[in-house]
Amino acid sequence: MISRGFLVVLLNSLAWTISYAQTIALPSNVDQVIEEVSRAGACLAPTTGEFLLDSNVIYRSIPQLEETPAVAFDGTNYLVVWRDQRDGYKICGTRISQSGTILDPAGILICSHTGICPGWPYRPGVAFDGTNYLVVWDDFRNEPGFGDIYGARVTTSGAVLDSLGFPVSIAPQNQSSPVIAFDGTNYLVVWYDHRPGANNLDIYGARVTSSGTVLEPGDFAISTAANAQLWPAVAFDGSNFLVIWSDTRMSPRADIFGARVSPSGSVLDTAGILISQAPQNQTSASLAHDGTNFLAVWEAHEASASYVCGARVTRSGTVLDPEGIPISPQSVKHVNRPHVAFGDTNYFVMWAQSNASNCLVCGTRVDQSGVVLDSAGITVSTRGGLGSNLNIITQVILISYSYHLVSNTPSRAELDVRQM
C-alpha cells in the first residue's frame, strides 16, 4: 500500500504536466517517472516508451531514494526537481522539452549536503519568474534536527546561479515544506513553522525578488491560530495570493483554512477563511486559479476510507462550495495526495489511490462551475508496487513520479520518463 506520496500538477500551453512521488511501504527504492497527457485526457504519444530521466541513477547495489518531485514550466521547457539520495542527500533537477527530450541527462546538481550546501536538503518547490526559476527546499545545515528554508535560482539553460543556496528563513527550530508562487514581480514562499514560543505549528511566509533578495529576512506570520497549521499551498490570482492549509484550531481533526496575502506581504484575512469544516480529517491541500476563482482540493479521511474533495473560493475570499465538492469516485476508498492545475477551460485534479496489491495514479477534469466531468475517474498510471513489476499503463500527460522497485536481486533505482 502507499504509505506516502506527493503529486504536483501544472499546465503548459498544450497539456497538463504531472510530477508525483509514490512511496510504497516496502524496504526498497523510489524512482521517478514523467508522462504527458492532453487537456482532454488523450494520449499524446501512445507508442512512446519509457526513457531515463537521469542515467546516473541505475543499477544501485544499495537502496537509494529519488523522491518529492516538483515541476515548473518556463514557456519552452520544464524544470523537474527532486530530492536525491545518491551518495548523500541532494536537490537535483533536469530540464525537459515539450516533446519529452531530457535536456540534462546527467542531471543538474542544485544542492548537496556533502558538497556545496551541507544539510540534508528535502522537499523542494519550484516556480518560474519569466527569466529564471527559483527552487526552494528544507535545509538542515544550521541546526541538526531543525530545518530552515533555503533557495537557489536556476536559469532556463540549467545553470545554478546561487551555488551555496541562500537562506529564505533561518528562524530557530523547524521550518518545513516550502511552497512557492510568483506574482509578476516577486515570489511568495510559504511554509509551516515551529519556532520557540509558538503554540504549535504555524504558517509563515517571505517574499523573494527575482534577484534572490529576501524582502522579509525575519519572515512574517500568515496564521498563528491555536493548535497546528501545516501543509500549505499557494497560488496567485492576478491581484493577491491565496494560501491554504490544514488547521486544527477548531478540533483535533484538521479543517481547511486559508488567507489572502497581498503582493506587498500584507495578510488580508488575519483570522483566516474557513474553507471546509467537514466531519473528516482534511489534509494535503492543493490550489489553482482559473482567472476568476480558485479551486482548492484536499484529502478527506474517514475511519476506513479517504477521498478527494474540493471547493471554489473567490478572489474576495468567499467560499462558493461550503459543503464541499466530492471529486474522487466514492467507490474508491483509499486515495491521497491530490493536486490540481487549470487549463483553458477546466481544472485537472490528480491523486494516488491504492488497494491491497496495487497503486494507481488517477484524475478527473473539473469545470469552472465545480462540476466533475469524469465521475468514474481517469486512470493515468498503473504501476505495481510488488516484486519487480515495472509495467506502466497511462492515458494522459507528462507525469513525473517516484516509485519503489523491489526484487530478489540487489536494489535498483531509476529516474525514468514516459511521454504519453
pLDDT tens, position by position, 160-171:
999 989 999 999
Whether the pLDDT of residue 380 is over 90: the answer is: no
C-alpha gyration radius of the chain: 20
Looking up cell 545554478 gives 160
Strand-pair category, 15-24 with 398-400: parallel
| Other C-beta atoms lying within 10 Å of the C-beta of residue 50 | 15
Give yes or no for a contact between 73 and 12, defined as CB atoms under 8 angstroms apart: yes
| Other C-beta atoms lying within 10 Å of the C-beta of residue 279 | 9
Over residues 9-16, mean pLDDT: 58
What are the pLDDT digits (tens) for 171-200? 998 999 999 999 999 999 999 999 877 668
For the domain covering 2-414, report its CATH number.
Answer: 2.120.10.30
Whether the pLDDT of residue 284 is over 60: the answer is: yes
3-state secondary structure of 100: coil
Higher per-residue confidence, 398 vs 139: 139
- Please tell me the predicted confidence (pLDDT) of residue 262: 98
Higher per-residue confidence, 411 vs 181: 181
- Please tell me the predicted confidence (pLDDT) of residue 198: 64
What are the pLDDT digits (tens) for 75-105? 899 898 888 877 778 899 999 887 778 899 8
Strands (DSSP E) contained in 47-131 are 50-54, 66-73, 77-84, 90-97, 108-112, 122-128
Over residues 120-141, mean pLDDT: 92
Give yes or no for a contact between 282 and 246, defined as CB atoms under 8 angstroms apart: yes
Q: Which of 34, 30, 14, 12 is nearest to 22 (CA)?
A: 30
d(CA 231, CA 248): 12
- Mean of the per-residue pLDDT values of the chain: 78
Which pLDDT band holds residue 15 (cuts at 50, 70, 90)? Answer: low
Please give the DSSP secondary-structure letter assigned to residue 56. G
Higher per-residue confidence, 44 vs 292: 292
Q: Where are the domains of the chain?
A: 2-414
Please give the DSSP secondary-structure letter assigned to residue 102. B
Q: Which of 331, 341, 414 is nearest to 29 (CA)?
A: 414
Share of the chain above pLDDT 90, in %: 48
pTM of the predicted structure, to 2 decimals:
0.84
d(CA 6, CA 259): 23
Higher per-residue confidence, 53 vs 193: 193
Give yes or no for a contact between 4 and 354, defined as CB atoms under 8 angstroms apart: no
